[in-house]
């Protein structure tokens, strides 16, 4: 039997800290950012007998899914709660969370006792490796948990003096939506999901079918905030006429339906936040771009211009509308970075199409916190670039990723090869670029957690110095 202890110190009182853990979203926020985990069920309680269930890829075999079922075994707010693994990869796992406060600062002491898989054979293998195999993974996990807890509580504290919001999120199952819903929930907001299927009974879900124009106005009456992150993935598949039409129509039908419906409500929302993209600017070489810059040209530019206009009926009705022009969102669990990891880890990474094109990126937590900042600030309206203040050339991105992974990054991939592999989308998404600056959100007082690329990559991958 092994024992592991970790202490996290947060700048919050013990009641506020314990309440953060009590929200259902805390479980998602505490998962390591590099784990592609699927939440199956999470009871909205830490009380004895409640359970949380998730699936995740098996180490070394990503196509094999493993299930972890945790059941809470002790509950003494705001000082203590505990859980045990009743199904999972370990032979045993018992986790105690002890909280204590001194002068408004809370220490969270995690104590875990565990037995590695395969009993005596597992113990022998772990001893041969110096006890580092399992303990190393656990240490990384708890470091990530500590950072998320500290950062989330700090971000929530900025707006703790304001009333909590009733929020509806469309596109809640995506890379950004999953973490945004969880983060907003831990802040005490009343968060609901708008889903394109029949809503689960007893859940905070509402159904809609935008491709058929179906949305019950009564369902969305009374929400303070509506956030729309949906739309067919721009880089998920090769472009052809059918795919391009789907990319446009999925945004047109859904955004217009939401905008038109809320504009006619008796109690309209305070703000409508609609995801957009820096594709608005087109291929601009070395030009430094802000929200004041004119649009470029091409399919993506035209798509984004139309996309942002689909919320005009909400604007005309006096609703505050925010368009978030997202850059490349960095996450090891999805998006562009996840796709890069395998070739880079195998030593096959390198600059794309010469590597001179600019990459405007943002860490996933900065994306989440920036949306929250825009939501809670009444003066924020219009288009905002959600990109880190230090964009880099693609060659620098490749070199930095190789440095973090301790892998070479000198295997160039020529532009013509990418065009063969990805077709038309290779141009605007991989070969071309934009040097985009987050002027307006910085002027609105948002301070970036990750300004430089290396710190963002280390945080996403759990490879700290």
Per-residue pLDDT of 139-154, as tens digits, reads 999 999 999 999 999 9
Q: For residue 175, say if its preceding peptide bond is cis, omega within 30 degrees of 0.
A: no
SS3 of 98-139: the string is: EEEEECCEEEEEEEEEEECCCHHHHHHHHHHCCCHHHHHHHH
In CATH, what number is assigned to the domain containing residue 448?
3.40.50.720
- CA-nearest of 48, 21, 255 to 148 is 21
pLDDT in tens, 326-363: 999 999 988 888 888 888 888 888 888 889 999 999 99
25 and 75 housed in the same domain = yes
Which phi and psi (to 5°) does residue 403 adopt?
-65, -45
Residue 108 shares a structural domain with residue 55: yes
3-state secondary structure 360-413: CEEEHHHHHHHHHHHHHCCCCCEEEEECCCCCEEHHHHHHHHHHHHCCCCCCCE
Looking at 133, 157, 181, the residue that finishes a domain is 157
Of all helices (H) and strands (E), which one includes residue 84? strand 80-87
Q: Which of 1-5, 256-260, 339-343, 378-382 has the lowest mean pLDDT?
A: 339-343
Q: What is the mean pLDDT of residues 205-217?
A: 96
Indicate whether 101 and 247 sit together in one domain.
no
Question: What's the pLDDT score for residue 264?
Answer: 97
Regarding whether 126 and 215 lie in a shared domain, the answer is no
Range of the domain at 305: 166-461
210 and 97 share a domain? no
Structure token digits, residue 93: 């796992």
pLDDT greater than 80 at residue 95: yes
> Model pTM greater than 0.75?
yes
∠ Cα 351 335 192 (to 5°): 160
Q: What's the rounded Cα separation, in Å, for the pair 364 and 204?
A: 24
Query: Which residue among 157, 182, 210 closes a domain?
Result: 157
Say if residue 52's pLDDT is above 50: yes
Query: Are 79 and 176 within one domain?
Result: no
pLDDT at position 129, please?
45
Q: CATH number for the domain including 51?
A: 3.30.530.20
- What are the residues whose beta carbons fall under 8 Å from the beta carbon of 194, sequence distance 6 or more? 168, 169, 170, 172, 205, 206, 207, 208, 220
Same domain, 335 and 305: yes
Where among 113, 132, 157 does a domain terminate?
Answer: 157
Are 391 and 453 within 8 A, CB to CB?
no
Tell me the pLDDT band of 124, cut-offs 50, 70 and 90. Answer: low
Question: In terms of domains, do 207 and 113 share one?
Answer: no
Tokens of 26: 């805390």
For 224, phi then psi, to 5°, come to -80, -35
pLDDT, the chain, mean = 91
**What is the structure's pLDDT at 65?**
84
- Burial of 147-184, coded b for 16+ CB within 10 Å and e otherwise, reads bbbbbbbebbebbeeeeebbbbbbbbebbbbbbbbbbb
Answer yes or no: do 132 and 199 share one domain.
no
Structural domains counted in the chain: 2
| Same domain assignment for residues 394 and 435 | yes
For residue 427, the 8-state DSSP code is I
SS (H, E, C) 152-192: HHHHHHCCCCCCCCEEEEECCCCHHHHHHHHHHHHCCCEEE
pLDDT given for residue 130 in this prediction: 44
- Beta-sheet pairing, 166-170 with 190-195: parallel
- Mean pLDDT to the nearest integer, 57-70: 79
Q: Residues 242, 324: one domain?
A: yes
- Kindly indicate the confidence band of residue 126, based on its pLDDT and cuts at 50, 70 and 90: low
DSSP-assigned beta bridge partners for residue 106: 10, 101
Q: What residue spans of 4-131 are helical by DSSP H?
A: 14-22, 25-30, 119-128
Nearest C-alpha neighbor of 171 from the set 222, 224, 247, 232: 232
Q: Give, for 150, the enclosing helix (H) or strand (E).
A: helix 132-157
19 with 138, same domain: the answer is: yes
């Amino acid at each position: 039997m092994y024992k592991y202890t970790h202490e996290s110190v947060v700048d919050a009182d013990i009641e506020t800290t314990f309440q953060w853990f009590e929200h259902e979203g805390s479980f998602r926020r505490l998962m390591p950012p590099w784990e592609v985990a699927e939440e199956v069920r999470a009871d909205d309680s830490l009380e004895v007998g409640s359970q949380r269930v998730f699936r995740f890829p098996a180490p070394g075999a990503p196509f094999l899914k493993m299930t972890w079922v945790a059941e809470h075994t002790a509950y003494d707010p705001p000082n203590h709660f505990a859980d045990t693994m009743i199904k999972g990869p370990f032979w045993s796992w018992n986790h105690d969370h002890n909280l204590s406060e001194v002068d408004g600062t809370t220490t969270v002491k995690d104590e875990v006792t565990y037995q590695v898989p395969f009993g005596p054979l597992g113990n022998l293998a772990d001893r041969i490796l110096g006890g580092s195999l399992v303990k190393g993974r656990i240490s990384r996990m708890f470091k990530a948990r500590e950072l998320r807890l500290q950062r989330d509580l700090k971000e929530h504290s900025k707006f703790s003096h304001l009333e909590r919001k009733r929020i509806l999120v469309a596109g809640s199952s995506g890379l950004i939506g999953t973490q945004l819903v969880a983060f907003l929930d831990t802040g005490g907001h009343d968060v609901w999901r708008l889903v394109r299927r029949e809503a689960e009974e007893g859940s905070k879900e509402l159904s809609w079918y935008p491709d058929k124009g179906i949305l019950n106005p009564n369902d969305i009456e009374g929400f303070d905030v509506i956030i729309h992150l949906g739309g067919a993935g721009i880089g998920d598949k090769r472009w052809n006429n059918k795919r391009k039409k789907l990319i446009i129509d999925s945004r047109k039908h859904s955004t217009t339906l939401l905008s038109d419906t809320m504009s006619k409500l008796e109690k309209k929302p305070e703000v409508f936040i609609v995801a957009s993209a820096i594709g608005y600017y087109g291929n601009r070489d070395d030009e430094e771009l802000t929200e004041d810059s004119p649009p470029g040209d091409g399919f993506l530019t035209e798509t984004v211009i139309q996309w942002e206009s689909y919320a005009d009926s909400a604007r005309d009705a006096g609703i505050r509308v925010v368009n978030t022009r997202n850059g490349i969102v960095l996450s090891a669990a999805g998006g562009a970075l996840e796709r890069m990891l395998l070739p880079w880890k195998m030593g096959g990474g390198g600059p794309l199409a010469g590597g001179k094109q600019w990459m405007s990126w943002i860490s996933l937590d900065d994306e989440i916190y920036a949306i929250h900042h825009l939501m809670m600030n009444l003066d924020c309206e219009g288009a905002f670039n959600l990109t880190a203040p230090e964009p880099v050339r693609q060659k620098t991105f490749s070199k930095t990723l190789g440095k973090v992974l301790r892998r070479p990054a000198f295997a160039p991939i020529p532009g013509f090869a990418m065009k063969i592999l990805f077709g038309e989308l290779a141009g605007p998404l991989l070969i071309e670029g934009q040097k985009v600056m987050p002027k307006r959100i910085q002027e609105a007082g948002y301070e970036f957690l990750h300004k430089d690329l290396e710190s963002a990559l280390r945080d996403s991958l759990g490879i700290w110095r």
